[in-house]
Amino acid sequence: MISPERRSGLPRRTMVAASAAVLALAGIAVTAESADAQSRSRHRSASFSGPHHSASRNVDIYRSPGSASVSRSRTFDDQSWSSSRNRVTVPTDDGYATSVIRTGPAGNSRTRTGEVTRDENGYRRSSEVQSSRGYGYERDVDVYRDENGAVISRSVAANNGASSSRTIIRTRPD
């Protein structure tokens, strides 16, 4: 007996994707149970070639639950540059943590890490940013709520010594 893949000449994954597209066009919802089905990737490219100039552009995008990455590259008259952005978010016991890394066309990079924690009285959000050029800062926001109102504390501290903090107290009217 010949398998359906061998009869059609298409791999099984391609056949499943084509079937899903046909069903989606027909208005029938298709749900998939695997994490692979929730992941999405996309590639875009364009190019131009003329008598005096040539250019090309490529973009690769990948998304899955909890992460995403985008890579871009361009070429114009044999000069190339690229940039990228990668994000990962993971759940924690009482919130989530995120990490984002960006790389610019000149090779410079910036890393941001952050965490959000929640409890019954409010939340805390903290983040830290560091660049490849040496600049960085840390930011914290604490929000505490009770039946009388809320206390919001914000602080920022840069690695060059500058810092700022502020506390706001909001009371509920009687």
The CA distance from 92 to 89, in Å, is 10
* 27 & 88 share domain: no
CA-atom Rg of the chain in angstroms: 25
Q: Which amino acid is at 121?
A: N
Run means of pLDDT, 10 residues per run, the chain, 174 residues: 43 49 42 58 94 94 94 93 95 94 92 95 95 95 94 96 96 83
* 18 & 67 share domain: no
Q: Strands, E, within the chain: which ranges?
A: 40-49, 54-64, 67-76, 79-92, 95-103, 109-119, 122-131, 136-146, 149-158, 163-171
CB count within 10 Å of CB 52 equals 5
* 16 & 87 share domain: no
* 108 & 47 share domain: yes
* 1 & 69 share domain: no
Q: Which amino acid is at 6?
A: R
Label the pairing between strands 54-64 and 67-76: antiparallel
* 109 & 25 share domain: no
* 100 & 124 share domain: yes
How many domains, in total, are found in the chain? 2
pLDDT at 151: 96
* 21 & 50 share domain: no
